[in-house]
Amino acid sequence: AGQIYALKTVFAEDRQMLEEMRQECAIQRSLDHPNIVRVYESFEADGNAVHIVMELCSGGNLVEKLRESPRGCDETTAAELTRKVLSAIYYIHQRGFVHRDIKLDNIMYENKLPGAEPKLIDFGFACKVMKGHESIEGRYGTLSYMAPELLDTKEKGPYESSVDLWSIGVTVYTLLTGRKPFDHEDREVKKILIRQASPSFSNSRWSHHSPHAMDFVKCLMRGDPAMRLSASQALRHPWFSGLDLCVRRSLRHRTTPAKLTSVMVQSLQAFASAALFTRMTLEVVAFFTSPLHLREVRHVFAALDADFSGTLSRSEFVGALAQHREVPTKEAHAIFDGIDFNSSGQLELNEFCAALVWTNLSESDGMSAIKHSFQLLDKNRDGVLTLPDLQATFGKILNQEALVAAMRSFGTVYDRIDIHDFHQIVSDVAQPLWSRKSRHRSRGTRQCQLVPDLWGISRRSSRDLVPIYPPDVMSSCTSLQRSSSHSPIQIRMQFSLTTPKLRRFSSDP
C-alpha cells in the first residue's frame, strides 16, 4: 500500500527477556489511543529475535526537540504536549497498565508537520496490574526519571502507578527549564537527591514561567506517592485550563474548528446500520490506513474528547450529534451502540475511524486500503479468505457459525471471499459518499465492472477466483514456504514484511 513502517528488532539474551518482549507486544497491541504508538504485528525468528512492526514516528523525540531550545520550551507548547501525554497515561492506567519508563526519549512526534501528535513509545518495562492488587514489584526505568520509592523497593516494598506521574513531573520540569531536576554525574549522589524529593525552583529559568506551571510540577513530584496527583486529577489542573488549550488546539494549525460534518454524520449512520461483519472488516481497513489519510477524522475525535480520556463517552458522542437536528437523540444512541459493537461503553480511536474511514479517502486510496487489508487477512496468501483466515482475526468476536453465515450472506462461493467480494463488503458503506464525488458511477453495476483489476489481471466474472498477488510475490511466498522451517505465523510475517517499505531501528541497549 506504499506505507512506511518502523521495524524494531530485539535479540533476546535469554528466555526471560523473550517473555518480556512478548509481553511488550501484547500490551501495545491492546492499546488504541491517539498518543500511543501503534503496533501492527510482531513475530519471532531464529530462536531469539523479536521483530515488531509499528507506526513510524519520523518527527524525532523530545530530546531532539529540546536541543532546539536548550533553555526550555515555551510554556504553552509544553502544556499542550503534556496534556496529550497525560491523556495516554490516564488511558493505560484505566486499563491496568503502568509504563514505568516515561522520559523525553520515549515521547516522539508522528511526523515533522505542524500540529504533529506526540506518541508514547517503548513499553518494554510496562506491566499489567491485576485488579485488587495494584501494587507492583521490581526496579525498572531510567534513574533520572525514577520516583523515590523505586530506589528502595527492598525496604519500602511494592509501589503503585503513581511512579508514572513522578516521571511526568520530571519530564515537564526538563521541558520548561532545559535541565533535569536531579542531575549529577555521580549516580549515588543523584539517588540521594531523588530520595530527598526537593527539586529546586529558585533558578532563573523558572522566573519566566507561571505559578500554575510550577505548582503542576510540584504536585507530581511529591515524595509521598499518596500525595501525588493521579492522571485524571493532573488533567484537571489549572495549568491547562488557564492556557485555554482547547481553543488553541482547534485554531493553531487549522482555519476552521474540527467538527462533525453532515457527510460524516451520513457515514456514521451507514456504518452503524451495516452488518456486524462489515463493521468488523472496516475496523481492519481503518487500522491499516495511514494516519495522514485519517488526519481530519482524528482531529474531530480529539475535538469531541472533552475530558481528554483518549476515548469518546456516550454523552460526548451523543452531544456532538445533537448539533445535527436531523439526528434524533434516540438514533444518536443507536449509532453509538452500532459503532461500539463490543459494548465497552466508549468509542476508541480505531472504532471511530472505521465509521468515518471513507469520508477522508479518495476512491484510489480506498482501493489501496482495501487491497492492503485483504492481504493482511489472507493468512496463507492464496488469494482468497477462508474460514480459518477469518477465525484468526475475528474468532474472539464471532463464532464459526456466525462467520460462515456472514460469508454466505454476501453471496460468496464455496465459503470463500475473493478480493472483489471483499471490496463489495467493505465499500457498501462508502458507495453513497463516493457517488457524491463520482456521479458517473452506478451503484447497481456489478463489482467486477466497478473495480479495476487490482493487479492488472483480467477477470471475466465476479465469481472467477484468481490470485491477486503478482507472479513474483507468489513465487517468493512459495519458495519461502518450501525452504523455511519456521511456523506459519513466522512465514506469513516474513513474507508480508517484504511488501511495504520498512524503515528499521534497533532498541536501546
Q: What is the CATH number for 314?
A: 1.10.238.10
Q: Are residues 89 and 207 in the same domain?
A: yes
Give the tens place of pLDDT for each residue, 346-363.
Answer: 999 999 999 999 887 777
Residue with cell 513499553: 123
Q: What percent of the chain has pLDDT over 90?
A: 45
Strands 346-347 and 97-98: unpaired
Q: Please give the Cα distance from 182 to 192 (Å, whole number).
A: 9
How many domains are there within the chain?
2
In the predicted model, what is the mean pLDDT of residues 257-286?
Answer: 89
Give the tens place of pLDDT for each residue, 402-412.
Answer: 888 888 777 66
Q: Are residues 146 and 276 in the same domain?
A: no
Q: Are residues 226 and 370 in the same domain?
A: no
Burial 486-502 (b: 16+ CB within 10 A, else e): beeebbbbbbbeeebee
Q: Check pLDDT > 70 for residue 501.
A: no
Q: Please give the Cα distance from 202 to 204 (Å, whole number).
A: 7
Q: Please give the Cα distance from 248 to 76 (Å, whole number).
A: 9
Q: Check pLDDT > 90 for residue 300.
A: yes
Which long-range contacts link 127-134 to residues 24+ away (Cβ below 8 Å)?
127/23, 127/97, 127/98, 127/100, 128/23, 128/27, 128/96, 128/97, 129/96, 129/97, 129/98, 129/161, 130/96, 131/96, 134/160, 134/161
Q: How many CA atoms lie within 13 A of 54 on its CB side?
A: 29
Counts for the chain of helices (H) and strands (E), in that order: 25, 10
- pLDDT at residue 493 in the model: 34
Do the domain assignments include residue 482?
A: no
Q: Check pLDDT > 90 for residue 394.
A: no
* Highest averaged pLDDT of the listed ranges 130-144, 224-238, 375-389: 224-238
Give the tens place of pLDDT for each residue, 463-474.
Answer: 333 333 343 333
Closest to 428 measured CA to CA, from 289, 282, 287: 282
- pLDDT at residue 131 in the model: 59
Q: Please give the Cα distance from 481 to 485 (Å, whole number).
A: 8
Q: Are residues 278 and 410 in the same domain?
A: yes
Query: Angle, nearest 10°, between helix axes 162-177 and 75-94?
Result: 170
Do the domain assignments include residue 366?
A: yes
Do the domain assignments include residue 267?
A: yes
Q: Check pLDDT > 90 for residue 448.
A: no
Looking at 184, 218, 251, the residue that finishes a domain is 251
In the predicted model, what is the mean pLDDT of residues 287-312?
Answer: 92
- pLDDT at residue 157 in the model: 64
Active site residues: 101
Looking at 220, 251, 282, the residue that finishes a domain is 251
Report yes or no: 452 and 364 within 8 Å, Cβ to Cβ: no
Do the domain assignments include residue 409?
A: yes
Q: Are residues 156 and 201 in the same domain?
A: yes
Sign of CA dihedral 306, 312, 313, 316: positive
Q: Check pLDDT > 50 for residue 458.
A: no
User: Higher pLDDT residue, 450 or 340?
Assistant: 340
Query: φ, ψ for residue 78 (rounded to 5)?
Result: -65, -40
The separation between CA 505 and the C-alpha centre of its own chain, rounded to angstroms, equals 19
- pLDDT at residue 193 in the model: 95
Identify the band that residue 308 occupies on the pLDDT scale cut at 50, 70 and 90.
very high
Report yes or no: 260 and 320 within 8 Å, Cβ to Cβ: yes
Judged by average pLDDT, the poorest of 25-29, 43-47, 234-238 is 43-47
Q: Are residues 151 and 79 in the same domain?
A: yes
Do the domain assignments include residue 213?
A: yes
Give the tens place of pLDDT for each residue, 213-236.
Answer: 999 999 999 999 999 999 999 999
In 10 A of CB 206, how many CB atoms? 18
The CA-CA-CA angle for residues 497, 367, 387, to 5°, reads 65
- pLDDT at residue 454 in the model: 38
Query: φ, ψ for residue 118 (rounded to 5)?
Result: -75, 145
- pLDDT at residue 409 in the model: 74
In 10 A of CB 114, how many CB atoms? 8
Q: Which residues contact 212 (CB under 8 A, 6 or more apart)?
A: 237, 238, 239, 242
User: Higher pLDDT residue, 243 or 213?
Assistant: 213
Query: φ, ψ for residue 415 (rounded to 5)?
Result: 55, 40
Q: Are residues 244 and 262 in the same domain?
A: no
Q: Are residues 192 and 282 in the same domain?
A: no
- pLDDT at residue 413 in the model: 61
Q: Check pLDDT > 90 for residue 427.
A: no
Looking at 191, 219, 251, the residue that finishes a domain is 251
Cell numbers that stand for 133 in this block: 492488587
Identify the band that residue 479 occupies on the pLDDT scale cut at 50, 70 and 90.
very low
Give the tens place of pLDDT for each residue, 84-109.
Answer: 999 999 999 999 999 999 999 999 99
Average pLDDT in the chain: 80
Q: Check pLDDT > 50 for residue 291.
A: yes
Q: What percent of the chain has pLDDT over 70?
A: 77
Cell numbers that stand for 6 in this block: 518502523
Q: Please give the Cα distance from 268 to 194 (Å, whole number).
A: 51
Q: Which residues contact 338 (CB under 8 A, 6 or more apart)?
A: 271, 272, 273, 274, 279
Q: Are residues 262 and 237 in the same domain?
A: no
Do the domain assignments include residue 205?
A: yes
Identify the band that residue 498 occupies on the pLDDT scale cut at 50, 70 and 90.
very low
In the predicted model, what is the mean pLDDT of residues 127-155?
Answer: 76
The CA-CA-CA angle for residues 105, 107, 112, to 5°, reads 105
Residue type, 351: E
| End-to-end Cα distance, the chain | 32
Q: Please give the Cα distance from 134 to 82 (Å, whole number).
A: 25
Q: Are residues 332 and 362 in the same domain?
A: yes
Report yes or no: 334 and 274 within 8 Å, Cβ to Cβ: no
In the predicted model, what is the mean pLDDT of residues 382-389?
Answer: 90
- What domain range includes position 80? 62-108+129-251
Strands 501-506 and 4-11: parallel
Q: Are residues 324 and 226 in the same domain?
A: no
Q: Check pLDDT > 50 for residue 251.
A: no
Q: Please give the Cα distance from 259 to 319 (Å, whole number).
A: 12
Do the domain assignments include residue 12?
A: no
The strand pairing partners of 313, in sequence order, are 346
Do the domain assignments include residue 7?
A: no
Judged by average pLDDT, the poorest of 22-31, 142-151, 304-313, 365-374 is 365-374
In the predicted model, what is the mean pLDDT of residues 33-47?
Answer: 90
Q: Considering the entire predicted model, what is its pTM?
A: 0.81
Cell numbers that stand for 379 in this block: 493468512
Helix, strand, or coil (residue 236): coil
Q: Are residues 242 and 288 in the same domain?
A: no
Report yes or no: 120 and 102 within 8 Å, Cβ to Cβ: yes
Helix (H), strand (E) at residue 471 = helix 471-483
CATH number at residue 192: 1.10.510.10
